[in-house]
Amino acid sequence: MTRFVSILVASLLLIMSFGASALAKTPRVVLVVERLGDRSFADSAWAGMQRAQKELRGKVIAKVVEAPELTAAEEQMAAFAKDGWDLIITLGFGYVDTFKKLAPKYPNSKFLIIDAEIPGIPNVKSVLFREHEGSFLVGALAGLMTKTNNVGFIGGMDIPLIHRFQGGFEQGVKYVNPKAKIQSYYVGAWNDAAKGKELTSVEISRGADIIYAAAGGSGAGMIQAAQEKGKYGIGVDSDQCYLAPKNMIGSMVKRVDNAVFYTIFDLVNGKFKATTENLGIKEEGVGWCGLPPVSDKVALQHVPKDVVEKLAQIQKDIVSGKIKVEDWMTR
């Protein structure tokens, strides 16, 4: 079924793209994602595409394709490369091999991979994020806001990338509140909201009053548990505050949208470079949504001014290198 649909979509897109190629020379960009609607990672990339469509109107043709499985995604990417699309964007380390295969074969197309690194191929750009820095910041937020001196972390899968979120968070809590207790649990799935909620309830019953979740769709369960028990939650990737305005004190935002937008911007202006970018707080790649440029009102209505000021100072110290955040991914 999924396969049939994706083939159908692919052929439709191809037909449409033949039409588009008549326009000639307008750079064409495609984003291939597993699924939109995670309210975080993929949606953020999509937001970058939408911004490009709006701000670079007429200068770029942008498309999003969903391919729920690896083989379907590979077929999609190959089809677009073959058709001569200028930039192909994808997310996650699962597609490293696909890009390594496709990029040398289609040297006229450019490739952008986010959250994985492919060095040494002249038409592939990689963007990585220092999520531990952003997580450090929301960890400090939790450490300053907790009344029970007990905070929780909920991870999706027990994998190195999520250890990085956990590590940054734990370091941030300890930095401002060395005596605080931290509970870090794992759901074991990205799509089990029920289990995410039960796990959060366990953390709350063991004393936690602020919980940070880096768990994809399972994270929605954390938000509902926080709502039910009247505790605070911290979201991840996209700004998730609007999902529960009374109980969210912010999100660790990962500006995938910026990475996507600026790469398209560079492409349109002929300045695309096949480098590896490593975006941290300094580059405004990650951060807490309560601070500029986002300055989320929902978050700020819960967080007192002195805490916001302290976090702004911590942010400065991370930028200047005074605070060094250890990366648990490589630990």
Partner 1 sequence: MIHLLSQVFDTQFLASAVRMTTPILLAAMGGLLCSLSGTLNVALEGLMLMGAFGAVAGSFYTGSWLAGVGLAVLLGTLTSVLLSVTIIKYKANELVVGLAVNLAALGATTFMMRTLWQVKGSFIDPRIAPLPSWRLPLIHHAPVLGKVLSGHTPVVYASWAVVLIINYVIYHTAFGLRLRATGENARAAETLGVRTKKLQYVAFILSGALSGLAGAQLSLGLVTLFLINMTAGRGFVAMVAVILGQRLVAGVAGASLLFGLAEGLTMRLQGLRIPPQFVLMLPYLITIITMVLLRPRHPRPVLPEEARKAALEETP
Binding site for partner 1 (CB under 8 A): 1-2, 5, 35-39, 43, 158, 183-186, 188-189, 191-195, 197-199, 201-203, 205-206, 217, 220-221, 223-224, 243
Angle at 186 between CA 286 and CA 279, to 5 degrees: 15
199-225 burial, b at 16+ Cβ within 10 Å, e below that, comes to: bbbebbeeebbbbbbbbbbbbbbbbbb
Structure tokens at 40: 């975080």
Of 124 and 244, CB closest to partner 1: 244
Structure tokens at 284: 């405004």
Is residue 243 within 8 Å of 298, Cβ to Cβ?
no
CA distances from 219 to 188, 225, 247 (A): 12, 10, 14
Of 174 and 195, CB closest to partner 1: 195
Tell me how far apart the alpha carbons of residues 69 and 62 are, in angstroms, rounded to a whole number. 22
Minimum CB–partner distance for residue 213 and partner 1 (Å): 13
Q: What 3-state class would DSSP assign to 215?
A: coil
Is residue 255 within 8 Å of 285, Cβ to Cβ?
yes
CA distances from 151 to 49, 233, 284 (A): 36, 10, 26
Minimum CB–partner distance for residue 90 and partner 1 (Å): 17
Of 30 and 199, CB closest to partner 1: 199
Minimum CB–partner distance for residue 184 and partner 1 (Å): 7
Minimum CB–partner distance for residue 104 and partner 1 (Å): 33
Minimum CB–partner distance for residue 196 and partner 1 (Å): 8
Minimum CB–partner distance for residue 31 and partner 1 (Å): 14
